[in-house]
Amino acid sequence: MQAEERLPVIKKPKVRGRGSKRLLVFLLLFFITLLCVLFFQSSLSKITKIEIEGQELLAPEAIGQAITVKNGDHFFSQSSATIAKQVRALKMVESAEVSKHFPGLIHIQVHEFPKVAYQFDPNNQPQAILADGSVVSISTQTNFVLDKPILSGWADSDPLKLKLCQVIASLDPSYLADISEIKPDPTESYPDRIKMYTRSKFEVITVISYLPDKLQYLDSYIANLKENKINTGVLKLLEADTHAPFDTPAGKDTSKIDKKTQSVTPAPNNPKKDVPKDVPKDTQKRP
């Protein structure tokens, strides 16, 4: 008994209560919440600048009205994807990218539909036509150059006008370098037939759906005619490609081709075309 009484007594460690852990968690959450409140009340959480770049015809004010964020709004109130969607909803905008740069900067990069043609309003003021059919007035005070074809005789609501703009946008710009004007010229056989005038003094009859295949060979057709001392006339680029002088019935009335009509020499790699149904076979020049 005396030996046992001499052994030192080991004290048991005190167990901390769960209440102290809860207090620490509560204090941590309190300070995080306090910091968040202070951040959102400070100028660091506000939009201080909205940059808009890339637009040429669309006014920056129109883009500013389309988006639902303004200077002074919370920086995280809307995502970049939401703002980009609002910009893309504008008619003349093909695509848009939005990036955020902390603190306070929102950058919007706009890509408009390309210009494909021009037209003139009733007051003879120039207007640019975009690939989506949008029409934008052009200030004559700027360095305005007619570097695209002029569309005349088209109604703004004509669906073929929109189709023509979409086709032109898909073509290599070099194919249109010689085209000065495009007019609608529909027939019963070809509802989308058009008449084009070239700067090289030729009149070209074709249809919108044939443009991607036919227009790439237009320069070769005209070069072949000029080699044969033929400098003017009517070119029909339909199912069969033909040429008629202006002073022949075929040149005056483009719905018919008489025996004086000449076949156009096909350009290299141009697939052989069939004779159109509405043209008599005996009017085509046989090789």
Summarised one tens digit per residue, pLDDT across range 236-283 is 998 877 888 876 555 554 444 343 445 555 555 444 444 344 444 443
Cβ within 8 Å of residue 244, ≥6 positions away? 233, 234, 236, 250, 251, 257, 258, 260, 261, 262
Tens-place pLDDT, residues 121-165: 998 889 999 999 989 888 765 667 888 999 999 998 899 999 999
Structure token pair of residue 41: 């009340």
Q: How many Cβ atoms from other residues are within 10 Å of residue 161's Cβ? A: 21
Q: For residue range 60-116, list pLDDT tens digits in order.
A: 888 989 998 888 888 888 889 999 999 999 988 999 999 998 888 999 999 999 999
Q: Report the alpha-carbon distance of residue 58 to residue 135 in Å, rounded.
A: 11
Q: What's domain 46-112's architecture?
A: Roll (3.10)
**Of 264, 275, 163, whose CA–CA distance to 219 is shortest?**
264
Q: Tell me the domain boundaries of the chain.
A: 46-112, 114-170, 175-287
- In angstroms, the Cα distances linking 17 to 20, 22, 23, 193 are 6, 9, 11, 90
